[in-house]
Amino acid sequence: MNEKTTPSKPRHVRDVSEWHKTTDVAVIGFGGAGSCAAIEAADAGSRVMIFEAASASGGSTALSSAEVYMGGNGGTRVQRECGLEDKSEDMYNYLMQAGGDFADSAKVKNYVDGSVDHFDWLVSMGAKYKNSIYNERAIMAMTDDCLLYTGSEKAWPYRDIAKPCPRGHNLEVEGDNGGPMLMGILTEQVESRDINVHYDSRALTLIVDDSNSVVGIVVRIDQQELNIKAEKGVILCAGGFVMNEEMLKKYAPSLLKASIPIGNPNDTGFGIKMGMSVGGAAINMHDGFVTLPYYPPSSLTYGILVNASGQRFINEDCYHGRVGYHCLQQPGDRIYLVFSAEDFGEYETQSYLNADIAGTGETLCELEEELGLPNGVLQNTVETYNINAAKGEDPLLHKSDEWLKPIKAPFAALDCTPGRGAFYPYFTLGGLDTLPSGEVVTSNGDVIPGLYAAGRTACGIPRTGACYSSGLSVGDATFTGRMAGKQAAKRK
């Protein structure tokens, strides 16, 4: 069986001469989604097998900082202990807005309603969250503190739509070590159950019956093709497609303007393709997370981003991902971050950005010339910005007054133009269309019996890089994994 072309076509059960293994639920992929799916299915009394392509558990969740976006329902334990009340309505309204045009209200509602329960479940698995807040404008908490703002909750227009509340939950661990810790915890939980784990197992194609129900999966282990019977169903938790350049070119070419794909090598889209091969609808395939990590240092938030016309285009106090997304949308061929030299701060040691200084100047005119921007435009832009900033206002783009102050000489600019060295990591947000239960549906919304998807193999809560928030991918993966595991176990 040709590996590349395999998921194009399911195997029909009539061509299965032998079942090599039988289980109730076959879970494909042992990352955040797969582990949670397996645990829930097992806890509901099902026999479960996991097939993981790599030699260990982890997936892309282990490579992340494993923040989990949770709240609503009055607040998680941590939110409440920190004196924060988080209404479900606010979380729902924020997530609907953050999902953009493609937001799925049924999924968002389900995620919000189950969010505090999800927190408690993660804690019951062994995840530790300290009752504390990390009060920096940061990409992640580098201390073992828990709560931080990981989205654009405090920025326009979100602040007017929903009461801001920090919902990113960081594990009680210092540094960027949440991913390995979370996957360690979940792996231990899987191992403590009667779940059959197969590593180095390549899922090849689904097995369907006459009614197009999924009844099993073909996997290759030790160079043997095995037909696995899955009496309740197959849950695809095989990640997204950010590592598949051919698929990116076909479905999400604009992401290729960004610089570094984030994910694990098995994020090749094979789970999505398997679903498509039996009529599963792949949706929102063009969109992805992309970011420009221009803070820390947070002081650079006092700066302004301008495009090749010397014009601002986004309130710079937004989440770094929202900003990065808009940078990639700009016409013209340049993006500069312009700031007062005094706000350069600890850029050299703290920044992930990798952007070069593009120009400096004692006057705006000098800087404008050095950057080669159209005569007078940057001067206009900064002067207008400064006049309003001095009054604590940004009538153009509504940056919060917390981050408003006039930009003063000496001036400097960082070159954030895509393709010129600045760090623009990205991953995909499109995948199989599923119900909140994790059941995969066709283009008509009909359930494909026996097929489930979760995590980035499905199109979940996060839908657009334009308003992503950290913690949504691991939050969605672990949550939807659980939903799919429970649903599959329920199947008669």
Q: Is 220 in the site for its own copies (CB under 8 A)?
A: no
Sole binder of its own copies in the list 34, 216, 269, 431 (CB under 8 A): 269
Q: Cis before residue 180, ω within 30 degrees of 0?
A: no
Residue 75 tokens, joined: 């607040």
Sole binder of its own copies in the list 27, 38, 282, 353 (CB under 8 A): 282
Which range of residues in 59-67, 146-154, 387-395, 403-411 is near its own copies by CB under 8 A?
387-395
Helix (H) or strand (E) holding 234: strand 224-236
Q: Is 387 in the site for its own copies (CB under 8 A)?
A: yes
Residue 50 tokens, joined: 């996991």
Q: Is 272 in the site for its own copies (CB under 8 A)?
A: yes
Applying CB under 8 A, the site for its own copies has a residue count of: 59
Neighbours of 220 (CB within 10 A): 18
Sole binder of its own copies in the list 251, 411, 424, 468 (CB under 8 A): 251
Q: Cis before residue 418, ω within 30 degrees of 0?
A: no
Q: Which is nearer to its own copies, 273 or 320 (CB)?
A: 273
- In contact, 236 and 205? CB cutoff 8 Å: no
Q: Is 97 in the site for its own copies (CB under 8 A)?
A: no
Region 171-210 residues binding its own copies, contact defined as CB under 8 A: 210
Sole binder of its own copies in the list 131, 329, 340, 400 (CB under 8 A): 329
Which range of residues in 49-57, 196-204, 383-391, 421-429 is near its own copies by CB under 8 A?
383-391
CA 289 to chain centre: 6
Q: Is 396 in the site for its own copies (CB under 8 A)?
A: yes
Alpha helices for 204-351 (secondary structure H): 245-251, 270-277, 320-329, 347-350
Q: Is 442 in the site for its own copies (CB under 8 A)?
A: yes
- In contact, 299 and 343? CB cutoff 8 Å: yes
- In contact, 87 and 72? CB cutoff 8 Å: yes
Q: Is 380 in the site for its own copies (CB under 8 A)?
A: yes
Backbone angles phi, psi at 278, to 5 degrees: -110, 20
- In contact, 203 and 274? CB cutoff 8 Å: yes
As measured in angstroms, the least distance from the Cβ of 443 to its own copies is 5
Binding site for its own copies (CB under 8 A): 4-9, 12, 14, 101-102, 210, 212, 246-247, 250-251, 253-254, 256-257, 269, 272-273, 276-279, 281-287, 309-314, 329, 331, 374-377, 380, 384, 387-388, 395-397, 433, 442-446
